[in-house]
Structure 1
Amino acid sequence: MATKSSSNAVITKPTFDFLRDLVQNNNREWFQTNRARYDAAKNELCGVVQQVLTDLSSFEPLANTAVKDCIFRINRDIRFSKDKAPYKSNMAFAIGPGGRHSGRIDYYVQIQPGNQSFLGAGMWQPTPANLAKFRQEVDYNVDELKQIIEADEFKAYFPEIHGEVLKVMPKGYSADHPEIDLLRRKELFFVHRYTDKEVMKANFAEEVVRGCRIIKPYIDFLNYLFFDEKEEPVML
């Protein structure tokens, strides 16, 4: 079980009210007028992130990872987007070594009204090299991966699978390959959704940590495969 933090980390109804109102008033003038509401919502999010960081540190190496490093800006990057709304409709954070820019597979949490909050993790927009490593592992040694993602507890907590899937088999693999479904995946990202009521419960941060524990073996599998596995030396 996760270690309970002494902080009172709670997301309250005013935070959801602010995000709902922001969707209807997504402009800089309204946002500046309601800046105090945003600051209060962000302060609540910081409390949750701090508790999650504290509890996750019992089984993840998160030394020197600060709350501010984990939280995403609410401002949208509209430079290359047809949608010029300046703000996101959610608040989010990602936890990995050093924060949201760890460069590794991490834990992502999004707070969004309408029962759309979620914890997610996994392979998302991998580099061509990492996707090739994933497919090679599926081809040669799929058992470890399947033992993780097909475990009863894992499937019960993470019933949603997101990501792009090829319509045909990737080049170099037979159409009758026994792991055709995994090989066709360009992304393999698992999601657990929380209702608004669940997010507003006092134990929400602890529940997020419970989900992180469940999906940790999959994250470890990908991080080892993509970043830690040493290539065998070539004998000349």
Structure 2
Amino acid sequence: MKTTIPRETLAFFKKLSNNNNRDWFNAHKPEFKAIEAKVKSAYNHLGELMNAHDKIEKIKIFRIYRDVRFSKNKLPYKTHFGGSFARHKPELRGGYYLHIQPNNESFIATGFWNPNKEDLFRIRKEFEMDDSEIRAILNNKTFKSTWGGFVGDELKTAPRDFDKQHPAIDLIKRKQFIFTKKYSDKEVLSEDFLNKVNTSYKIIRPYFDYMSDVLTTNLNGESLL
């Protein structure tokens, strides 16, 4: 029997969107917990598939409860499942994310969400010295057709101490180095969804290998580990 995202997942979140309050959720909590257990099983199965081509250190399924303390949106519950897959640190960098949400809002994401100051500077210096290797990865036909191009935040101009006329300034001014891929509800509920996600994650590997090498060496290529 194949492990899949249970069909009732999307239906439950649609109902929760129309009843996002504690009374309704508490009345339907047994239904949610049953769905959550199946979804956790699906995430764990995906992690097993990924371990055939990567080293996944930790799988984390995020809680449904929203932190509303500093948000104008006071709705108490998320209307999606989100989970991350952490690679074995410190030698393997980057991470994976799987987001399950109805109305064709599901997606997967990979990359580097918010590199710390040191890592961000190291990445930018690498692009400044030689952007040929990263561009070859980004322009690979299979890679590009699967993931497209970078998404995420970037500066409006060159970072401090970088030349705004540099040929790689489009890469250097980035603050995040993320790729995303969207899925329809029909795709999410299909029997081969987790296998397709795993294949997409596998295709990101040359990028992760490159970035891991950059972030574990200094500008002379000497190991920092």
Report if TM-score (shorter chain) is over 0.5.
yes
Mapped to 1, the partners of 2:52 and 2:76 lie a distance apart of 38
CA 1:160–1:30: 2 relative to 1, 3 Å: farther
What's the offset of the Cα at 1:56? 1.0
Shift of 1:79: 2.1
Q: TM-score, normalised by structure 1?
A: 0.85
Alignment of 1:56-135 (within 5 A): 56-62=50-56, 65=58, 69-97=59-87, 104-135=93-124
* In structure 2, C-alpha distance between the alignment counterparts of 1:229 and 1:27, rounded to whole Å: 50
Q: Indicate yes or no: 2:202 matched with 1:202.
A: no
Q: 1:55 aligns with which of 49, 56, 69?
A: 49
Counterpart check, 1:212 vs 2:201 = yes
Check if 1:166 corresponds to 2:166.
no
Q: What is the RMSD of the two structures over their aligned residues, measured on CA atoms?
A: 2.2
Q: Quick one: percent identity of the two aligned structures?
A: 31
2:143 alignment counterpart:
154
Match in the other structure for 1:3: none
Give the letter aligned to residue 167 of structure 2. P
- Relative to the length of structure 2, the TM-score reads 0.88
| CA 1:230–1:179: 2 relative to 1, 3 Å | closer
Aligned partners of 2:125, 2:51: CA distance in 1, in Å? Answer: 32
Q: 1:176 & 1:17 partners in 2: Cα distance? A: 51
1:229 aligns with 2:217: yes
CA distance in 1, matches of 2:71, 2:11: 26
Cα shift at 1:153: 0.8
TM-superposed CA distance for 1:98, in Å, is 7.0
Match of 1:34 among 28, 33, 37: 28
Q: In the alignment, is the contact (CA less than 8 A) between 1:15 and 1:40 conserved in 2?
A: no
**2:196 is matched by which residue type in structure 1?**
E
CA contact (8 A) 1:148 1:218 kept: yes
- The answer on whether the counterparts of 2:100 and 2:107 sit within 8 Å (CA) in structure 1 is yes
**Structure 1: distance between partners of 2:54 and 2:149:** 24
In 2, Cα distance between the equivalents of 1:153 and 1:28? 46
